[in-house]
Chain A
Amino acid sequence: AQKITQTQPGMFVQEKEAVTLDCTYDTSDPSYGLFWYKQPSSGEMIFLIYQGSYDQQNATEGRYSLNFQKARKSANLVISASQLGDSAMYFCAMREGWNSGNTPLVFGKGTRLSVIA
């Protein structure tokens, strides 16, 4: 069964507008972490934001925020004030367990975001 589902293959957003990228996950482990990565055409995976399963508040990092709905098992990424440089692939990923420095990440299939001027 797929552990990370990203249902939007592609999204378009007007520059300076906000956009939400969807991510749902599946795990029976009460301790887990959710990550969002940005992958520009160069290929490198750039870490954006992290949400732990026990975190009470939604994570925020600059223009990025994570809308974490634990009961629904969703962890949507919100990008505010989109910029042309935000055009890239975006991946949601999960790591199960807390002492999990050696636990591999499980990725979704990604969403390609295109920002239009």
Chain B
Amino acid sequence: DAGVTQSPTHLIKTRGQQVTLRCSPKSGHDTVSWYQQALGQGPQFIFQYYEEEERQRGNFPDRFSGHQFPNYSSELNVNALLLGDSALYLCASSLVYGQGADEQFFGPGTRLTVL
């Protein structure tokens, strides 16, 4: 049973460019959440997708957008990259009706460097 997978592992972009990160959730999970983890910080919630719609959003600008496909996989897009967007981007999958100890399973992350 494959866990959460993310691609690519590492990415280097320059300011002003656009980037797309990809995530495949754990088998059986229907909800995908994206987190940004800056160096030395804890992960911060970007947004969450369920049934191909953005359901919740954290305090991130519109430059951050996403998509969920019918197979539950998801993409995170960031436009007009800034130096401050350099971070580890984590994808987590879960069940929308999960309760209590039902956890979010995290992928290995994509490390984005903006030069």
Contact = CB atoms under 8 A, between A and B. Distances in A.
Contacts of B45: 104-106
B44 interface: yes
B56 A104 contact: yes
B106 interface: yes
B70 interface: no
Contacts of A50: 100-101, 103
A44 B6 CA distance: 11
A95 to B, nearest CB: 8
A contact face: mostly helix, strand, loop, or mixed: loop
Given A45-B43, A102-B31, A110-B42, A52 B108 contact: no
A75 to B, nearest CB: 14
A110 B88 CA distance: 15
A27 to B, nearest CB: 15
Interface string B104-115: 111111010000
B8 interface: no
Contacts of B98: 100-102
A109 to B, nearest CB: 5
A12 interface: no
A99 to B, nearest CB: 6
Contacts of B94: 101-102
Contacts of A109: 40-42
A105 B104 contact: yes
Nearest to A109: B42
Interface of B: 31, 33, 35, 40-45, 48, 50, 55-56, 58, 88, 90, 92, 94-109, 111
Ranked 8 nearest A-B pairs via Cβ = A101-B98, A107-B42, A45-B106, A104-B45, A43-B109, A50-B101, A44-B108, A102-B96
Interface of A: 4, 33, 35, 37, 42-47, 50, 52, 91, 93, 98-110
Given A45-B92, A101-B99, 6 more contacts: A33-B100, A43-B109, A44-B108, A101-B95, A102-B96, A105-B45
